[in-house]
C-alpha cells in the first residue's frame, strides 16, 4: 500500500492506468532505494577512485584506461550489494540480473569515460576531480536503468 507522499507524484494521467516514469521515480519508496544506492555507490566509487589513483600513480597506466578498468571492478562490488540491499525483493534471476547490470554498467561506463576524457581534454580539471564530476551523471543513469529495466523495482 502506498503512502500519501508516494501517491503525490504518482498520479496517473487521464486515460492511463499507470503513472509515467517520472511519477514512478518520484515516490518515497524509490527515494529510499536512491538513498541506499547512494550509500553503495559511494563505497563502490571510493573503491574505484582508489584503484584509479593506484593505477595512474603507481602502475603508470593511462588515466582514461585506468578509469575504465577501475569502473568495472567497482561495479562488480556494486551489483552484489545492489541486488541484496538496494533492489531487494527483485524476482530477476541472478545470472540474468548480472548480465543486465553489466549492460547498464556499459552505458554508465560509456558516459563516464566519454565525459572524463572530454573534461581532461578541454579543461584543466585534475583527473580525480573530473572523475567525481562525471560520477554523478553516470550514477543517476545507472540507477534508473537498473531500477526500471533490470531489478524491475521502479
Domain range summary for the chain, segments of one domain joined by +: 32-150
Sequential DSSP letters for 50-96: HHHHHHHHTS---HHHHHHHHHHHHHHHHHHHIIIIITTT--S-HHH
Q: Which pLDDT band holds residue 136 (cuts at 50, 70, 90)?
A: confident
Residue 98 binned pLDDT confidence (cut-offs 50, 70, 90): confident
Residue 13 is predicted with a pLDDT of: 52
What pLDDT is stored for residue 16 in this prediction?
Answer: 59
Average pLDDT value over all residues in the chain: 87
Average pLDDT (56-78) is: 91
Running DSSP on this structure, what letter comes out for residue 27?
S
Q: What is the predicted pLDDT for the residue at 10?
A: 47
Whole-number pLDDT of residue 93: 92
CA–CA distance, 87 with 84 (Å, rounded to integer): 7
Mean pLDDT for the stretch of residues 84-104: 91
Amino acid at each position: 500500500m502506498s503512502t500519501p507522499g508516494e501517491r503525490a507524484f504518482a498520479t496517473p494521467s487521464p486515460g492511463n492506468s499507470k503513472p509515467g516514469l517520472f511519477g514512478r521515480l518520484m515516490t518515497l519508496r524509490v527515494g529510499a532505494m536512491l538513498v541506499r544506492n547512494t550509500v553503495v555507490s559511494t563505497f563502490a566509487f571510493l573503491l574505484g577512485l582508489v584503484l584509479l589513483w593506484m593505477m595512474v600513480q603507481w602502475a603508470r597506466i593511462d588515466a582514461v584506461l585506468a578509469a575504465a578498468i577501475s569502473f568495472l571492478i567497482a561495479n562488480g562490488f556494486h551489483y552484489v550489494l545492489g541486488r541484496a540491499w538496494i533492489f531487494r525483493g527483485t524476482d530477476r534471476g541472478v545470472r540474468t540480473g548480472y548480465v543486465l547490470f553489466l549492460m547498464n554498467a556499459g552505458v554508465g561506463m560509456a558516459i563516464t569515460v566519454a565525459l572524463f576524457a572530454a573534461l581532461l581534454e578541454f579543461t584543466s580539471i585534475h583527473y580525480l576531480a573530473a572523475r567525481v564530476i562525471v560520477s554523478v551523471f553516470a550514477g543517476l543513469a545507472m540507477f534508473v536503468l537498473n531500477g526500471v529495466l533490470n531489478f524491475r523495482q521502479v
